[in-house]
Copies of this chain bind each other. A is one copy, B any other.
């Protein structure tokens, strides 16, 4: 069974449903979901890792850094789109009382302005708002929530993509205990955590150079305090490529040599299936022929 950062009806739940329709277990926090993975309670969990409107990202980064090793097996991108959900039969012109989370209300300002008679009340979560609206006798007419919440509570969708700026995306990952690395697809990402020795500017430059000289691009780099001493940071990094790519393997070796500590958190297919524009100088063939050449130098 998979776990996820719940409750049901959130965007994390929606992310989970894109990879599995089986029963899954919601956890009240990212920490709880990942602890359940570590304890073997669930075989994996879906948690947000980048730009979530519902929070949890810092917790995910920190939980992946601390405690027993975990591995990312998959990434999932979910478009952050809101809808207006009502009990079946309610018409748009009858909507007076709207319930939703503050963030969602803020992101749907223009749509709400077109409902002049509607009064907006803040709920603890968008999923909770949908649940409340579904309750018979509720004093709320409509919820703004993810589509998954509308479906979950049997509500009718009166409008969709009602957010002011469409196009926002949240990135989720499926996390398991360490296992075999997912097969290379040619459009993969690798997630790492690298720790630095003291002097920050020099050390970070050295780390970035290890990637650059082997033609490995980064798609995300975020600092996290190590919680040991003031001014001590590690970096959570996503890089293009798979540990089975020669350029990535050599980069990892290079990082292992210069950093006090490196965590490998997994290689997995990119959700967008977009293969990197790979400079042929850094292809596996180029690595193999370079190795062969050096081996040939000694005419023993």
Contacts and interface: CB of A to CB of B under 8 A. Distances in A.
Interface of A: 50-51, 58, 77, 167-171, 178-181, 199-202, 204-206, 208-214, 216-223, 225, 227, 229-231, 233, 243-244, 249-250, 252-254, 256-258, 264, 281-282, 286-287, 289-291, 293-294, 297-300
A290 B243 contact: no
Nearest to A282: B257
B223 A222 contact: yes
A210 B250 CA distance: 13
Q: How many copies of this chain? A: 4
Contacts of A221: 200-201, 204, 223, 233
Contact of A253 (B231, B244, B290, B298): B290
Contact of A213 (B171, B209, B249): B209
Contacts of A211: 201
Most chain B C-beta atoms within 10 Å of own C-beta, residue among A58, A201, A216, A219: A201
Contacts of A264: 297
A43 B239 CA distance: 45
A219 B200 contact: yes
